[in-house]
């Protein structure tokens, strides 16, 4: 029985910000600090590998009336509390969840076909939650079985897809709808802590979804789902972490993370491929979570990949930034667009430091 990612859908909020010069110069104008802080910001943004990021916040756009993060009259940045940020999450996440879910449902048999629903997020909370919103807005059956995976970080779409695979193995007639929404920019803070400045330079907003079933494919570009593995590096637990603060979620992404991944890639990835009967040379596509440009560089170096092996993740990083768990959905969608059939090694990273991997087969 072949369990497949039959379809993928992605979405972003309406507001797009140019990384350089707009976001770079805005941060330089509003992050407190001396000339050294300005130089660090200039370097971080110039070397990010990001051209554009999307946000649910219109506050900083030219011509906007401002908002809870920016007072247009005084030109001052603001620090809304966590409750106010989560209220914004509830409003904007609901729209993205429903948009992605509706697109997948309409393309894959209609609302009556969905048997299971898995929602994913680590950037906000509300109940009744996004599962409730999707069921009602998309007209799903009231007895659809629902699950939520929360606060696991950038790798969370992997356990969600693995759950969908497990469901389909147990119930061959199942159709599992998976939707991730992350609104990272709601947790923006204007601080001169180096790690916080680094985090603020890469995180963005976006949504991704997948339709998973054991049915025979009806379109090109499906992924047969192989082995999923969770791997703890044993290092860097404090270097990639999220906690809930009084002014949003405090995101930690230190400059040590790329080096930790570089060190562990040679011992973590080849054995996982061998378990699936593959060597490094057999992998046609590397669907790597683009947590940042340095992360992609160090993963590539650690695995000895060809210069163009991570072109798809780099394109996603450039166009969208790091959208936490939703990002790997964008990467998988990018890989399948014109990608040659063959084995795919997908991976993402998150708190722990955790490395999640999946071996997939892209079919024509």
pLDDT of residue 176: 98
Tokens read off for 177: 């709808």
Residue 252, pLDDT score: 83
Q: Does residue 319 fall inside a structural domain?
A: yes
Asked if 111 and 177 count as a contact pair (C-beta separation under 8 A), the reply is no
Residue 245 lies in a domain: yes
Q: Look at residue 301 and tell me if it is in a domain.
A: yes
What local confidence, expressed as pLDDT, does residue 195 receive? Answer: 87
CATH number of the domain residue 285 falls in: 3.40.47.10
Determine which one of 122, 138, 154, 168 is catalytic: 154
Residue corresponding to tokens 């993205």: 96
Asked if residue 148 is part of any domain, the answer here is no
Domain range for 244: 223-362
Please report whether residue 260 resides in a domain: yes
Q: Is 60 helix (H, G, I), strand (E, B) or coil?
A: coil
Residue 11 included in any domain = no
Q: Does 291 map to a domain?
A: yes
The residues facing 242 across adjacent strands are 251
Bridge partner list, 352:
none
The H or E element that residue 26 is part of is helix 24-30
**Residue 154 annotated among the catalytic residues of the structure:** yes
Residues of the chain with pLDDT under 50: none
**How far is the CA of 149 from the CAs of 118, 120, 128, 130, 215, in angstroms?**
7, 5, 15, 11, 25
> What mean pLDDT value characterizes the chain?
96
Contacts of 39 (CB under 8 A, 6+ apart): none
In a domain, 61, yes or no: no
Number of domains in the chain: 1
Tell if the pTM clears 0.95, that is, is over it.
yes
């Amino acid at each position: 029985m072949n369990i497949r990612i039959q379809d993928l859908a992605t979405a972003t909020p309406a507001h797009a910000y140019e990384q350089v010069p707009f976001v770079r110069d805005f941060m330089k104008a509003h992050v407190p600090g001396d000339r050294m802080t300005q130089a660090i910001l200039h370097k971080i943004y110039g070397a990010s590998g990001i051209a554009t990021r999307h946000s649910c916040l219109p506050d900083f756009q030219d011509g906007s009336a401002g908002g809870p993060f920016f007072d247009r009259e005084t030109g001052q940045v603001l620090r809304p509390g966590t409750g106010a940020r989560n209220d914004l999450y509830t409003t904007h996440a609901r729209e993205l969840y429903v948009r992605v879910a509706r697109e997948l449902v309409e393309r894959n048999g209609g609302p009556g076909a969905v048997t299971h629903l898995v929602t994913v997020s680590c950037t906000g909370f509300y109940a009744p939650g996004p599962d409730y919103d999707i069921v009602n807005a998309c007209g799903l059956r009231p007895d659809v079985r629902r699950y939520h995976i929360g606060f696991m970080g950038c790798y969370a779409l992997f356990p969600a897809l693995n759950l969908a695979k497990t469901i389909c193995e147990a119930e061959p007639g199942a159709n599992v709808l998976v939707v991730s929404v992350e609104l990272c920019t709601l947790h923006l803070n204007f601080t001169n802590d180096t790690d916080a400045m680094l985090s603020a330079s890469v995180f963005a907003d976006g949504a991704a979804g997948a339709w998973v079933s054991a049915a025979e494919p009806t379109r090109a570009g499906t992924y047969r789902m192989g082995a999923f593995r969770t791997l703890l590096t044993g290092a860097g637990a404090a270097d990639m972490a999220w906690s809930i603060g009084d002014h949003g979620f405090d995101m930690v992404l230190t400059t040590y993370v790329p080096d930790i991944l570089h060190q562990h890639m040679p011992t973590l990835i080849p054995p996982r491929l061998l378990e699936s009967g593959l060597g490094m040379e057999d992998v046609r596509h590397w669907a790597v979570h683009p947590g940042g440009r340095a992360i992609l560089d160090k993963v590539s170096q650690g695995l000895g990949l060809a210069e163009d092996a991570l072109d798809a993740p780099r394109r996603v990083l450039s166009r969208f930034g790091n959208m936490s768990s939703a990002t790997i959905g964008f990467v998988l969608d990018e890989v399948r667009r014109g990608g040659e059939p063959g084995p795919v090694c997908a991976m993402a990273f998150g708190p722990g430091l955790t490395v999640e991997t999946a071996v997939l087969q892209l079919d024509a």
